[in-house]
Amino acid sequence: MEMKYPIGTFQFDDEISSSVTSVWINEIEDLPRLLRDAVEDLDNEHLDTAYRSGGWTVRQVIHHLADSHMNAYVRFKVVLTEENPVIKPYDETKWAELSDYKLPIDTSLLLLETLHKRWTNLLRSLTPADMEKTFFHPDSGEVSVGKNIGIYAWHGRHHLAHITSLCKRKGW
What pLDDT, on the 0 to 100 scale, is given for residue 13? 83
- For residue 4, being part of any structural domain is answered with no
Query: Per-residue pLDDT for 23 more than 70?
Result: yes
- For residue 27, being part of any structural domain is answered with yes
Query: Per-residue pLDDT for 142 more than 90?
Result: yes
User: Is residue 84 within 8 Å of residue 43, measured between CB atoms?
Assistant: no
Alpha helices in 57-105 (DSSP H): 58-81, 92-95
- For residue 24, being part of any structural domain is answered with yes
- For residue 5, being part of any structural domain is answered with no
- For residue 58, being part of any structural domain is answered with yes
What pLDDT, on the 0 to 100 scale, is given for residue 3? 86
| CA pair distance 167, 172, nearest whole angstrom | 5
- For residue 9, being part of any structural domain is answered with no
> How many domains does the chain divide into?
1
Distances (CA, A) of 18 to 15, 114, 115, 125, 149: 10, 24, 22, 12, 11
Domain coverage including residue 87: 18-170
- For residue 8, being part of any structural domain is answered with no
Q: What is the CATH number of the domain that holds 155?
A: 1.20.120.450
What pLDDT, on the 0 to 100 scale, is given for residue 59? 98
pTM: predicted TM-score of the whole model, two decimal places: 0.95
pLDDT in tens, 46-77: 999 999 999 999 999 999 999 999 999 999 99
What pLDDT, on the 0 to 100 scale, is given for residue 14? 86
- For residue 7, being part of any structural domain is answered with no
Query: Per-residue pLDDT for 1 more than 70?
Result: no
- SS3 label, residue 94: helix
Looking at every residue in the chain, the average pLDDT score rounds to: 96
